[in-house]
Structure 1
Amino acid sequence: MIQRYTSAFAAFLLFILSQSLFAQTFKITGIIHDSGQKPLDGTVVSLLKAKDSSFVKAAVSESNGQFELLNIKPETYRLMVSNIGFQKYISIPFTVFQTDVALPTINLQEENKTLAEVKVTGKKPFVETKIDRTVVNVDALIGNAGSNALEVLEKSPGIAVDQNGGIRLKGKSGVVVFVDDKPTYLSADDLANYLKSLPAGSVETIEIMPNPPAKYDAAGNAGVINIRMKRNVLKGFNGGINLSYGQGVYKRTNNSLNFNYRINKFNFFSNASVNQNNMYQDLTIWRRYYNATGAYTSAFTQNSYIQRNFGGNNLKVGFDYYASKKATFGVVLNGFYNPSLVNVTNKAKVLNASNEVTSLVEAISPTNKTWTNGSINFNYAYKFDSTGKELTTNVDYIHYQSKSNQTLTNTLLDPQNKFVSQSVLLSSFPTTIDISTAKIDYVNPLSSGGKFETGLKTSFIGTGNVADFFDVLDGKPSPNYEFTNNFNYNENINAGYLNYSRDFKRLSVQAGLRFENTNIKGHQLGNKQTKDSTFTRKYNNLFPTVYLQYRMDTTGTHQLGFSFGRRIDRPNYQDMNPFSYPLDRFTYYGGNPFLQPTFSYNLELSHTFKNKITTTLQYSIAKNVISETNEQRGTIYYSRPGNFGQRISYGISVNGSFQPAKWWTINVYTEYISNGFKATLYGQKLDESRFYWAFIPTNQFQINSSWSAELAGSYQTKFLLGQLLIYPIGSVRAGLAKKMWKNQGTIKLNVSDVFYTNQIKGDIRNIANASANWFSYLDSRVVTLSLSYRFNKGKSLNVRQTGGSDSEKSRVKS
């Protein structure tokens, strides 16, 4: 079926290309001077359509004041020219038609410091739609103030985050998260903790790509989310500081500082953050057991109070050296130190067929964990000429280290609450992960107006995972060989890609193909009870991507979009560790060495009206979906990753922006999507599909030039995720902001989950001879006060390369 769709689409593409083959583009050139006729470098020149002032393209003037804008279509335009310390210049309309345009010299006038305040009414929209991604501007929402990167993701269109930090995109799990085009290499739990340590004030944009271009690694069957951190782009000394304090049941703080200093050929930059996120979860679980005939035999209930204290300390430093106008060399150092303490107190009851209590269990399990990271990136960029032809290289080395210690104390009581017995299990989980990557990318704009890109990448990953368990007997630790294990994993991925893009008169086209070669080896070291075991795998795959954007009229009022891509989702490194370990007396977690990668095909068809309302139809089919599976053996409940045979997802989503009044803007995102799963898990057949509806409205109010407010919310109906059925959930949040200190500072007050309704519950189905459900209270209502301040002195400069490691980070699990 996919092949037939692809052939039909190829025929359609050839027809459209034949109609646009002779579309021509031209060049606009000019010179920028100050009032003394001296050339101005670093001046930002923006090309706007004359009819609606919509942005087309930008350039930056050279040291001689010259600038050029390439590949410009016939149209009537204006220029907007800006430079720090000078008055903004907007040209009269001019037309590009049949020839290049050389504009007369533009003279900028110095700013008059005694002029009255100029009110700027324009601002970045919350959401922008591009041919291959949706871009979310984080600062556009008051509710993002004082929050962290994970909470920002929750408010972004199409993204949902569950109580454990698992991220879904348009109803699908298997999302790869990047930070500045570099993967996070973390498991769901550790990724959630890391994102909680990143203040929202340090985040510039979030790029959502259900079908990422061929330049990105093919990992992530649901797509890629790229978090771009703030980077000051001015010469001189510039930066910003963000401080916040939040109070729920427990306190939390998010504080960050970033600065940029450019002098002569050097540009130095840094970003640092210190955070504390304290929260709780009050979790209640019910499990019921049946015999082979379906008769009820016993039950189990457990309440867990989980207090989590997370510390986050992140530092990024680097420099760029502009060796010449063509060559730039850069070094970036990243690191974090994230300590955490999780205290879990369990109280459980075991009941017989008559619902009489037969025993009581109390368990206490404090866990101390320290998760550290250090990485270095070397990057080099060479611009061959002014047309945009460029070669970039990136070499990365990343080291992760985790130290975790837990004490699990189980106390067994009789129905009268009298002591029966006690067991103590000590455990230690040291983990190391080393990742080395190197890649080279080449971009070549073509004289015909198109752009060709190609690149190569190789990565080497080595992980070491040790789990040491000890039973405490008579006050002395004794090795527990049932759970003790040592697992090593090595992986090598080699990749290459081709990508072509071109804008015609009404049609924009982008098509790419990526090849990836994967080599895997796992080694489970034995102990006194278990023999050594190893496994190896090798596979080669092609991943095509295609994007179309067709403007149905000359004004761009109606635009059609199409995207198609093939993706892969590889297992997390440690998920293939075959051993199990106890979370408590009744629940074990284990790995699965037989996990297979997930392959998916994703298609989207969209319509955009006036760049304000985008309606998208989506269809996705995935084989061997990796997700949590649940099995009951006697009184022990096993949770481990497994492969679901098939997942089919299809539906519609709408993202729109409306302005009922000058002071009132409404952003609305809604989706109606069906998720269907087919699998056989532990002898139980699963074949079910279900539609769900999600609705996320955001109201923004501009009270006056300095005061603004926000009222937003979210609601989601029942949601199917493999064996899990999540019940309806929703919340409301509100915020207020005031600009200060000549608009360089902002103070914001925000309240999340005003009515304390963002509490999750659900059922676990398709378990042999058992059923289960749960309800969870979270520390979701938080009042946050934040302060941000920006300082700058300098002129604009070009943004550097961000680095080169790709999807490996998203798969680290500790």
Structure 2
Amino acid sequence: MTNKSFNYVILFFTFFLIQSLQFVSAQHATITGKVAGGTPEILPVVRLCNSADSTLVKAAICDSLGNFEIEITKTGSFLIIIDQLDYLKFVSQPFEVASDSSQIQLPLITLKAASTQLQDVVITVKKPFIERKIDRVIVNPDALVGSTGTTALELLEKAPGIIVDFNGNISLKGKSGVQVFIDNKPTYMSQEDLAGYLRSLPSNSVASIEIMTNPPARYDASGNAGIINIILKKLKEKGFNGGITLSYGQGRYMRTNNSFTFNYRVNKINLFTTLGVSQNNSYQDLDINRYYYTPGSQFSSAFLQNSYIKRQFGGKTGKIGMDWYVSRKSTIGVVFSGSHDPSLTTNNNSANILAADSSIAAVVSAYSKSRNLWYNGSANINYTLKIDSLGKELSINADYIRYKSEHDQTLENTTSANDGTIINSLNLESSLPADIDIKTAKIDYINPFKNNNRLEFGVKTAFVSTDNTADFYDVVGTSLVPNYTFSNRFLYKENNNAAYANYAQEIGKFAFQLGLRFESIRMQGNQLGNPLVSDSSFSRMYNSLFPTAYFSYTPDSSKYHQIGLSFGRRIDYPNYQDMNPFTYPMDAYTYYAGNPFLKPTFSYNFELTYSYKNAFSVTVDYSLVHNLINETNEQVNNIYYSRPGNYGNQTAYGISVSGEFSITKWWNVQYYSEMKNIGYNTSIYNQPLVENRWYWYVGPAFKFQITPKFTADLAGSYQTRILSGQFLTIPITQMRVGLAYKILKEKGSVKLSLSDVFHSNKPGGDIRNIANSEANWLSKLDTRVLTIGFSYRFSKGKALNARESGSSDSEKQRVDH
């Protein structure tokens, strides 16, 4: 199938989805009832199921008086099922819902205490793909067949509003600068390292993904595009419980992602651990074309380059922790985690240099090999005190994180004339070790009140120190001669102190949440000199306030309709190594450099959202960004310099539509689409960039329940051109399919998936606003992958409540090397 025909398929899907939205006004029936008995502190969960096979149709939670209400838009025979700990399972008699039904009142349901303690009771409730709260959207990946056997990075690509490019850079609703958290703790990594870590993390270990475009005041203010919080699975049952996931994928190269998780609780001690082993190999076939002109706009030369880049990412991750339930109110926990991630990247590069008459003037041949070992260890100690039954809670967290990188690289580059004469050559070896130490501590207090309001406040401090060395050597015969043009050492220290307060209240149909965060950060950088370059240093301090506000209104008593409005001010600090001023080569014609003059990015973000029954939503958003930090490109003497820079002003506004609904009882539809205008008003290297462009993205997904044990997924996406600073990307399309079958008494499953079915995901675009130059690129990637996965869980014991831990905030995200 060609890209053009695939686009028609996507357009058909979109038209079909729009037509299908008529479900909003469909006839419906309301089923009401009341549950008596049970544990007073636990609100019963009522499940409406098909009477034929007990498959879940819809679930509801009783109110404090035991009343429940379920609305459905289908007819048939149903029954009610209620599972509650220490009580006998309740199963009602089947009842009919006819086409003319409007209100069905069920008899009083009374739960009966179990005479003996129940064993091996597993309560399974299907979660929707999307859930919405006042300050975030929650994605439940278990609702997707194609998620098992893939990586956490591939899982993010399937979440609404999130785009992952071919380098692993993550953007949210068209904006870069996203903070990625793991279990409410920041990742403290650069985009490159974060992508490598997420590739090593099996998707089956992810419980949910929280998307916060305007994060509340409790979170660090860093990240102008918001926060993506990846919640990992943590088993919650007494006894010995666990799960295993194995997968093997084959594109042009192989990949495998495997994990093992177990939890053991006895008396007041809860032990848990997660282990993961992965290998992800891939390639990038990259074409880059650069055209050079005289100041009078006459063509002077061109550089036409092809690079075949092979990447081999290995990964071993581990986490072990313990919770000690000292009493019913207090818990002490410790968590140790670490990863060991080796990688090998080779780049075979060939290029033709064209003269002014378009004839070949010279040929370039280059080869580079890069070995990297990235590993880290972290320790967390936490304490939680539940002060009273109303929910007052005090939590204390302290973290120590250490990252270490060993990076060795060789670069050979030769430029030859047509007759074979060597014009110039470059032979470099380099060692680029890095050490990063992070210490954080924070205290949080939550104080709920009786009249549906809540007060939160807390303080935090963080200390960061980095040491980055770049030792470059020219290879002369068999000798290594220090290269002081590229060699450097950069030392950096930072202290960040913050305090916040957050207040939330519900008043009838109206709810609001207001927050204010204060942050004070001091930065100190020291570039050590060498025989050719003198020392340099900088010191900066920023003090800022960051308000947040959320408002929601639910006009109807059934809470089907909801209107939400949010606002937030945020900041992006430069990555630690981005401020390192030295330059290093990727090849003889492409250099990368830091920028010690980077300023923080400030953004103002607004959103207005309407949602219906938590299954359909429309969002209008607007953001104004000052001094956006993004990649810039400059051409000097036919050499391209890539470095981070500040774009003066960026505006982004648009509309998005998302939702989930069922066409039949076996056919479910999930969809996300957005249209957004991104504009810039700035100057890059004295070249004006005053432009704005619309883009459109659509991503429908279809889930088919073929039998109670057999499911299938079909999904695709289409994205038009996107303007991102100096880059204007080309349209991208892709499609994926998946099959899943439950085995071993439904405790295990086998899944088969194929990503990028038509191998149409080929990123590319133009690099613009460069003096006397034009450039474009096109990538072919190892994205068509057939994956088979197996997962199995074992479980014994009663469910218990898990709790969160971690004091870290935004520091991890800014690690770069």
TM-score (norm 1): 0.89
How far residue 84 of structure 1 moved from its aligned partner, in angstroms, is 6.5
Question: Counterparts of 1:151-230 in structure 2 under 5 Å?
Answer: 151-230=154-233
| Alpha-carbon RMSD | 2.5
- Partners of 2:760 and 2:111 lie apart in 1 by 61
Cα pair distance change 1:757/1:454, threshold 3 Å: same
**Other-structure match for 2:298:** 295
Give the drift of 1:416.
3.7
- Secondary structure, counterpart of 2:690 in structure 1: strand
Cα deviation for residue 89 of structure 1 reads 4.0
1:127 corresponds, among 130, 136, 141, to 130
Find 1:46's aligned residue among 44, 62, 87: 44
Alignment gaps of 5+ in structure 1: 1-27, 34-40, 58-68, 93-102
Distance across 1 between alignment mates of 2:622 and 2:156: 23
Instruction: Measure the CA separation in 2 of the matches of 1:112 and 1:431.
Output: 54
AA of the residue aligned to 2:667: W
- For residue 489 of structure 2, what is the aligned residue in structure 1? 486
1:45–1:82 Cα contact (<8 Å) kept: no
**How do 1:508-547 and structure 2 match up within 5 A?**
508-547=511-550
**Distance in 2 separating the partners of 1:775 and 1:380:** 51
Which residue of structure 1 lines up, in the alignment, with residue 77 of structure 2?
A: none
Instruction: Find the counterpart in structure 1 of residue 726 from structure 2.
Output: 723
Query: Do the aligned partners of 2:494 and 2:524 also contact (CA within 8 Å) in 1?
Result: yes
Equivalent pair of 2:240/2:264 in contact (CA under 8 Å) = yes
1:418 Cα deviation after fit: 5.3
* TM superposition shift of 1:601: 0.5
- Structure 1 counterpart of 2:442: 439
- From 250, 265, 268, give the equivalent of 2:268: 265
Equivalent position of 1:307 in the other structure:
310
1:76–1:733 CA distance, 2 compared to 1 (3 A): closer
Q: What count of residue pairs does the alignment treat as equivalent?
A: 752
State the alpha-carbon separation in 1 of the partners of residues 265 and 814 from structure 2.
36
1:593-628 per-position Cα deviation (integer Å, ceiling 9, x unaligned): 000000001000010112210100000001000000
Deviation at 1:813, TM superposition (A): 0.2
Partner in structure 2 of residue 6 of structure 1: none
Is the contact between residue 35 and residue 110 of structure 2 (CA under 8 Å) also seen in structure 1?
Answer: no
Pairing 1:84-99 to 2, within 5 Å after superposition: 87-89=88-90
Assess if the C-alpha contact under 8 Å between 1:676 and 1:689 holds in 2.
yes
Counterpart of 1:281 in structure 2 is 284
Give the superposition deviation at 1:800: 2.0
Separation of aligned partners in 2, 1:660 and 1:118: 29
- How much has 1:88 moved relative to structure 2? 2.9
5+ unaligned residues in a row in structure 2: which ranges?
A: 1-33, 49-56, 71-79, 94-108
| Code of the aligned partner of 1:196 | R
Q: Is the Cα–Cα contact under 8 Å of residues 432 and 468 in structure 2 kept in the other structure?
A: yes
Change (3 A) 1:421 1:113: closer
The ranges of structure 1 where at least 4 consecutive aligned residues each deviate by more than 2 angstroms after the TM superposition are 28-33, 43-50, 52-57, 72-92, 103-106, 108-114, 117-120, 416-423
Q: Is the 8 A contact 1:73 1:505 kept in 2?
A: no
Q: Which residue type is aligned with residue 765 of structure 1?
A: R
TM-fit CA distance, 1:85: 8.3
Distance 2:608 2:809 in 1: 27
- Aligned with 2:143 (options 126, 140, 144): 140
After TM superposition, list the pairs within 5 Å mapping 1:326-345 onto structure 2. 326-345=329-348
Alpha-carbon distance, 1:658 to partner: 1.9
| 1:676 partnered with 2:679 | yes
Distance 1:659 1:242 in 2: 29
User: CA–CA distance in 2 between the matches of 1:701 and 1:798?
Assistant: 33
Q: One-letter code of the match for 2:447? A: N
Q: Which amino acid aligns with 2:225?
A: A
2:52 maps to none
Task: Give distance in 2, aligned partners of 1:454 and 1:326.
Answer: 20
Describe how 1:264-413 pairs up with structure 2 within 5 A: 264-413=267-416
Tell me, yes or no, if the aligned pair for 1:84 and 1:794 is still in contact at 8 Å: no
Q: 1:554-613, CA deviations, whole angstroms, 9 ceiling, x for partnerless residues? A: 111211011110000111000000001101010000000000000001000010112210
Residue in 1 aligned with 2:18? none
- Cα distance in 1 between the residues matched to 2:47 and 2:385: 31
- Once residues 560 and 549 of structure 1 are traced to their aligned partners in structure 2, the CA distance between those partners, rounded to angstroms, is 5
The residue type paired with residue 252 of structure 1 is R
1:108 and 2:114 correspond = yes
* 8 A contact 1:45–1:81 mirrored in 2: no
* Correspondence 1:603 to 2:587: no
- Percent identity of equivalent pairs: 51
Q: Any idea what the Cα deviations from partners look like across 1:719-778, whole Å, max 9, x if unmatched?
A: 100000000001000000000111100100000000000111100000000000001000
State the shift of 1:504 in Å.
2.5
Q: In structure 1, the residue corresponding to 2:595 is in which secondary structure?
A: coil
Please state if 1:698 is matched with 2:697: no
Normalised to the residue count of structure 2, the TM-score between the two structures is 0.89
The offset of 1:109, in angstroms, is 6.1
Residues 615 and 108 from structure 1, CA distance in 2 versus in 1: closer, same or farther, beyond 3 angstroms? farther
Cα distance in 2 for partners of 1:297, 1:163 equals 32
**1:530–1:112 distance in 2 versus 1, CA, 3 Å:** closer
**1:689 — aligned with what?**
692
| Contact 2:61-2:68 at 8 Å conserved across structures | no
Residues 386 and 125 (structure 1), Cα distance of their counterparts in 2 relative to 1, 3 Å cut: same
CA contact (8 A) 1:49 1:76 kept: no
Question: Is the Cα–Cα contact under 8 Å of residues 45 and 83 in structure 2 kept in the other structure?
Answer: no
Q: Cα distance, 1:415 vs. partner?
A: 1.5
SS in 1 for 2:445: strand
Equivalent residues in 2 for 1:404-483, closer than 5 Å: 404-417=407-420, 419=422, 422-483=425-486
What's the secondary structure of 2:807's corresponding residue?
A: coil
CA deviations 1:684-734 (Å, max 9, x no partner) are: 000110000000000000001110001000100011000000000010000
Measure the CA separation in 2 of the matches of 1:83 and 1:429: 57
- Pairing 1:660-675 to 2, within 5 Å after superposition: 660-675=663-678
Work out the CA distance in 2 between the residues paired with 1:80 and 1:262.
Answer: 29
- Per-residue CA deviations over 1:53-96 (Å, capped at 9, x if unaligned) read 76458xxxxxxxxxxx9xx699767998635686434899xxxx
